[in-house]
Structure 1
Amino acid sequence: MTLRIIVALLTAALAVALLAGCTPARPVVPPAPAGAAAGNRHGVVVYVRTGCSFCLEAREFFAARGVPVRERNVAADRSALVEMLDIHVRRFPDEEPLVPLIVIGDRVLRGFDRQEVEAALAEVERTSIAGSKQ
């Protein structure tokens, strides 16, 4: 089966699961999809669901630190859901999709864990500082 067919088959079932609730953090560190985080200095994309308390906590965390975020609501935008499912199919084939899914630079975090997010942001800062010195 092609990736597109797999994503299409999973979309309906996973949409129901995503809308039913969210779960606490389970960080993972595979590479992010190419170009997923274009448009902000930290390269942060957050896939959220309306009404998810962990998603709200992530939003407040980034806002309090002044970190620009590209937010994608998987409950309101089918293309955001398909994009998030594509990440899961390619990166986490044996894991259940959950929100928030946070892409920071080259890291992908499943769920919201302050320490993991802070570590990923610090890593992006170190990388950008090191890259600007070259």
Structure 2
Amino acid sequence: MDNDVVIYTTSWCDFCKRAKKYLREKNIEFYERDIELNDKNTEQLYNSIGLKGVPQIIIGDKIINGFNKELIDIELASLESLH
């Protein structure tokens, strides 16, 4: 699942920390993009999502707004069935 999971975060966001911990516990590799690091690419990608707030979790082509274990599990299962 190389780069199939991306999470937009901030350093101060508790739900971001929970989401990252949950993905690590499930041994899911993910790419983290901190929206506060003033990286133009990250800013453009984050803005293209059209949603505000963090975490924004992208699994495949699905976007999960916030930390929701059930939705994460559903989308991970869908992604695994494609591989």
Give the TM-score taking structure 1 as reference length.
0.57
CA distance in 1, matches of 2:17, 2:67: 10
Give the TM-score taking structure 2 as reference length.
0.89
CA distance in 2, matches of 1:117, 1:66: 13
| Count of matched residue positions in the alignment of Structure 1 and Structure 2 | 82
Cα 1:77/1:66, change in 2 over 3 Å: farther
Is 1:97 matched up with 2:59?
no
Give the deviation of 1:76 after TM superposition: 1.6
CA distance in 2, matches of 1:86, 1:110: 14
Runs of 4+ displaced beyond 4 Å: none
CA distance in 1, matches of 2:36, 2:21: 19
CA distance in 1, matches of 2:28, 2:60: 13
More helix by share: 1
Identity of aligned residues (%): 26
Alignment-derived partner of residue 39 in structure 2? 78
Query: Over the residues paired in the alignment, what is the CA RMSD in angstroms?
Result: 1.6
- SS of corresponding position for 1:102: strand
More strand by share: 2
- SS of corresponding position for 2:32: strand
CA distance in 1, matches of 2:44, 2:60: 20
CA distance in 2, matches of 1:109, 1:67: 16
Structure 1 residues not aligned, in runs of 5+ = 1-38, 89-95, 129-134
Q: Is the 8 A contact 1:46 1:71 kept in 2?
A: yes
- SS of corresponding position for 1:68: coil
Alignment-derived partner of residue 124 in structure 1? 79
Among residues 5, 8, 17, which one is paired with 1:56 in the alignment?
Answer: 17
Matches within 5 A, 1:24-35: none
